[in-house]
Amino acid sequence: MRKTDWFIVLLSRILAFKIRLALRSRYRISIKGSEILKSNSPILFLPNHQALIDPLILLSHIYRYTTVIPVISEKYFDIPVAKWYFKRMGAVRVSDLETGSRNTLVLKSIIRSVYKGFRRKKNVVIYPSGQIAGQGFEKIFNKKSAYHIVNTIPEGVQIVGVRINGLWGSMFSKAKTGKSPDFLVQLVKGTFYILANLLFFMPKRTVSIEFEDLTSIAKEKAIPGQAPFNSFLEDFYNLHGEEPALFVKHIFYLPRLNRKT
C-alpha cells in the first residue's frame, strides 16, 4: 500500500461524481447516517454485498464526504489501466474466493495492508462475506478477515457497519441465474439501456444505504470468537429480514416486466 497523492484523491473525487451522475439514471438512492462519515478518526467500513454494482454505489457516495481505500478482488484489480489506478490509490488486492483461488497468505496480507492504511489515517472498506450474496440475505459463513481485523483493531479506529438493500434482483446480482454475473458484460448492457431510455427515462430501482457506528459492540462481539462475531454481522445486515428478489424492467417503453419471486 502506498501513500495516496493529491492527484489520485482529486481523480477519485471526479470519478465518484461522474459515477453518481450515471447511477442516477437507474437507481434512486437514499442515505441514512451520513454524519458518521465526517469523523476525524480512521474508519473501517463493513458492508454487506448484494450485487457486483454495490461497491461502485457505496464508494461513490462515501467520496461525497471523505476518501476510502477499497479491498478489491484480483479479478478486477488486475484489469489493465484500472490496475495502475488501484495501485496509486492504495487499494488492497486479494485473491478471488469465488473462483476457488486460495492464497494461504491472503489473510495476513489483508490485515497488514489494512493496518498500514489505519496508521496513515486512511479509511478502509472490506466486505466480510468476500463475495456477493447467493440469496436475499447476507451469509458470511466461515470468512475470517473482518473478525481478525476487528479483534485486533488499533485504538481510535471507528468501525462502521453498512447495510445496503434494494439490489437483490438486479442484473448485477445472483438472483436470476444463481451465478455471479460478468461485471463488464453487465456494465456494457447498462450503458446500452441508458441510451435506449434516451438518457433520462430509465425505470428506477430504489436502493437504501444505512451507516451505523458499531465500534463498541463489534469489539465486544469479537471477544467470544469468529463464529459469534460473524453471526452478529449477519444479524446487523439482515435486520429487515430476507429481501424478495425484485426484477425491474430496463427500458421504459417495453411492456411492464416488474415481478417478484
Q: Given this model, what pLDDT does residue 261 score?
A: 43
Assess whether pLDDT exceeds 80 at residue 102: no
pTM: 0.92
Domains of the chain plus CATH, in order, are 6-169+205-242 (3.40.1130.10)
The CA distance from 51 to 187, in Å, is 13
> What's the pLDDT band for 109 if we cut at 50, 70, 90?
confident
Comparing CA positions, the residue from 220, 251, 231, 216 lying closest to residue 141 is 231
Q: What is the pLDDT of residues 206-255, one digit of tens each?
A: 999 999 999 999 999 999 999 999 999 999 999 999 999 999 999 998 87
Residue 92 exposed, middle or buried by CB count within 10 Å (0-12, 13-18, 19+): buried
Residue written as grid cell 497488514: 112
Assess whether pLDDT exceeds 90 at residue 61: yes
Q: Given this model, what pLDDT does residue 51 score?
A: 98
Query: CA 143: distance to chain centroid?
Result: 16
Assess whether pLDDT exceeds 70 at residue 104: no
> What's the pLDDT band for 4 if we cut at 50, 70, 90?
low
